[in-house]
Chain A
């Protein structure tokens, strides 16, 4: 009998193996890795087209070994619709932040969800506009200070945060809508399982799917990466509860 080393975890093959431009501790990298792992595990690398947003993930296409396009701000779901319609057998996902998806791109995401056509959306909710320096987003919590809500967000001055997952789950179009968190190993495992269902909803031709990922922005939150994870648990999750909000029959 001899001893051999068995691989417990190694880098996904569809990951382009570049060092990302993300700040230390930013959970974009975690969400990226889950996408790459699922593309590998589900054998999708040859038929995947990623549609990237304007925001911190604008260069996302650099980090994967599958085809990608870079959309205009907020328009990823429209662009993905054009791509999917021309090649329905391909796997098409958008990757969008909260400013991109829930502010400037709200019309496109709502109508993509309402059409219900099988595209998949990975939605990163980190409560601010990271790329532009930490301005208030549609998901910024009440009381949260940002560079454009310097005294903290108030309903009177800024209105209320938008719960995208719950809102879209009211539509008849979507096949699968969930909110997950990337704050801990256990939640990252759950996030991957939700993303797998979302991918499956498309692969099996069932319909539109979206996974909202509670994420961190240590740089603009002015917290350490570890403190940022704690903030997600203590402050963000109470307003943005985790869970599956829409699961139609056949999604697994």
Chain B
């Protein structure tokens, strides 16, 4: 008998977080991810956790900050405008070296935009968003199962590196239903309270202080160098990519998340027409799998970056390939999702018939 259950994306991802050991969730309603906090509000009390509906996304992320200081597995989720409001908190959490997980169900922007699927928060997720030099690990699952699996890695890596891990999805992944299996269940009783946590001294011979403030410039530079060393280690070891039908490929689509799912259908159609097209799908968009993509220099005649945004992912592809492979781009914005044929047409327009 299979252990698979049919679940809605936003709920499955919430359960995935709980299976990964998340026991504290703070959030504020925003479409298209409301099923996540709703699920958490029902489910967390059943497993001895706490759900708190905050008064704003600003409050949510600062509650997350507080819980993170206590060394527990904690998360929040939101959608684009709400994630914008959290940027200050994410910067403080990063500057304080404490772990948490943040999920963004990206929607059309800028501003209030709409609630349709988009990938226009890419820069915000991978380049910063808040003030100061900091990085987050950013996972970009393209299926519900992958998202559930990545939540385990998200919490493990957040704890390992003491940093913010983001999971970026969109309304499509949140609203679709797929069979999903929860393969890993973290026993929270095995998770130790870290020695740096502010949980009261309880006999400890010193007070723990968690702050992102260092008034002395030389001291703050040293702190930044420590953060940079950590980010360099993460870049070296944590980038991930899926290489799909790349063995014989002449061309590759580069896409992530929802867009990569659709691109797989494009590739099937293209191959039926004799075009040797493959897919390079970043699973982490930070660290960006540049090295893996660079291995195709000299092997590919061209790449087509496809995204639900305007040349954001494309910029990282440009940086990775530096013109060593001809670069094409196709994207739609505002929540419009191109179909497989539309992507193939864009490919043929930019690369001919792929011969």
Contact = CB atoms under 8 A, between A and B. Distances in A.
Contact of A47 (B63, B202, B210): B202
B54 A78 contact: yes
Nearest to B212: A70
Contacts of A85: 24, 50, 52, 63, 66-67
Interface stretch (B30-38, B69-77, B271-279): B69-77
Interface in B266-286: none
B6 interface: no
Given A66-B201, A68-B209, A90-B200, A81 B66 contact: yes
Contacts of A71: 62, 65
B207 A69 contact: no
Given A70-B213, A78-B62, A107-B58, A47 B200 contact: yes
B203 A79 contact: no
B133 to A, nearest CB: 18
Secondary structure call for the A interface: mixed
A229 interface: no
B211 A81 contact: no
A111 interface: yes
Indicate the member of A66, A70, A71, A82 with the most B CB atoms within 10 Å: A82
A51 B59 contact: no
A47 B202 CA distance: 6
A65 B207 contact: yes
Given A72-B92, A108-B59, A86 B213 contact: no
Contacts of A59: 213, 215
B81 interface: no
A171 to B, nearest CB: 13
Interface residues of A, number: 38
B67 A67 contact: no
Interface in B31-61: 50, 52, 54-56, 58-60
Contacts of A78: 54, 58-60, 62-63, 65-66
Interface string B64-92: 11111110101000000000000011001
Given A68-B209, A69-B210, A107-B58, A82 B64 contact: yes
A67 B62 contact: no
A22 to B, nearest CB: 15
A107 B59 contact: yes
A214 interface: no
B222 interface: no
Contacts of B345: none
A197 interface: no
B209 A75 contact: no
B341 interface: no
A93 interface: no
A67 B63 CA distance: 17
A87 interface: yes
Contacts of B56: 107
B131 to A, nearest CB: 11
Nearest to A52: B211
B198 interface: yes
Given A75-B89, A85-B52, A69 B201 contact: no
Nearest to A61: B209
B26 interface: yes
B215 to A, nearest CB: 8
A66 B205 CA distance: 10
A228 B261 CA distance: 68
Nearest to B198: A67
Contacts of A67: 198-201, 207-209
A122 interface: no
Contacts of B92: 72
Contacts of B74: 82, 86
A46 to B, nearest CB: 5
Interface in A45-83: 45-49, 51-52, 58-59, 61-62, 64-72, 75, 78-83
A81 B201 contact: no
A91 B201 CA distance: 11
Nearest to A88: B50
A83 B67 contact: yes
A215 B140 CA distance: 51
Nearest to A89: B200
A106 to B, nearest CB: 11
Contacts of A91: 200
Nearest to B68: A82
A81 B52 contact: yes
25 contacts: A46-B201, A46-B203, A49-B198, A58-B213, A59-B213, A61-B211, A65-B201, A66-B200, A66-B207, A67-B199, A68-B198, A68-B209, A78-B62, A78-B63, A78-B65, A81-B59, A82-B67, A85-B63, A85-B66, A86-B72, A86-B74, A86-B199, A90-B199, A107-B56, A111-B59
- Per CB-CB distance, the 10 closest pairs between chain A and chain B, nearest first, are A82-B66, A70-B211, A78-B62, A82-B63, A79-B66, A75-B62, A111-B55, A82-B67, A86-B70, A47-B200
